[in-house]
């Protein structure tokens, strides 16, 4: 399964049970598999995939946290391949040919499967788009 961007919904319990369970949502990737790590007397949540800190200083070292729930929900964010890079469609108001970043990365990695456009074509599209924005549709 390709890596997907999305949200981890987690619930944490503590030992000893001095706090109520905490719940939060963390933005990340499907292969993150969050885990706790103790650093400088603080428990932080890290990604098992690449070691990046997903949530720093979650709780102090006086308790030991553990997950009672970890669910990942993918989030689709439309992207376009522009000059060999995957850009969210909302950045330049492009059509969002690819429904996810992952789908775009695959296509961009193999030359966008013929869906890349030249800078001059892009400039022409932007010009036409600006003309349409200024039209009155009354």
pLDDT over 90 percentage in the chain: 30
pLDDT over 70 percentage in the chain: 91
Single pTM value for the model: 0.56
Which of 74-101 are b and which e, b meaning 16 or more Cβ less than 10 Å from the residue's Cβ? eeebbbbbbeeebbebeeeebebbbebb
Tens of pLDDT, residue by residue over 66-79, are 999 899 988 878 88
Tens of pLDDT, residue by residue over 97-137, are 988 877 887 888 755 455 566 778 778 888 887 777 777 66
Burial of 29 (C-beta count, 10 Å sphere; 0-12/13-18/19+): buried
Q: Which of 29, 115, 26 is nearest to 79 (CA)?
A: 115
- Taking residues 10-29, report their average pLDDT: 86
Q: Which of 5, 81, 88, 106 is nearest to 47 (CA)?
A: 5
């Amino acid at each position: 399964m390709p890596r997907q961007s999305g949200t981890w919904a987690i619930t944490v319990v503590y030992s000893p049970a001095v706090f109520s369970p905490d719940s939060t949502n963390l933005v990340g990737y499907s292969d993150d598999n969050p885990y706790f790590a103790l650093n400088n007397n603080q428990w932080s949540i890290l990604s098992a995939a690449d070691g990046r800190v997903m949530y720093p200083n979650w709780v102090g070292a006086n308790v030991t946290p553990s997950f009672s729930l970890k669910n990942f929900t993918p989030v689709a964010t439309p992207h376009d391949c522009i000059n060999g890079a995957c850009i969210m469609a909302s950045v330049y108001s492009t059509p969002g040919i690819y429904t996810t970043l992952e789908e775009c990365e695959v296509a961009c990695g193999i030359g966008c499967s013929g869906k890349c456009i030249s800078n001059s074509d892009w400039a022409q599209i932007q010009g036409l788009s600006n003309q349409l924005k200024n039209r009155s549709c009354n």
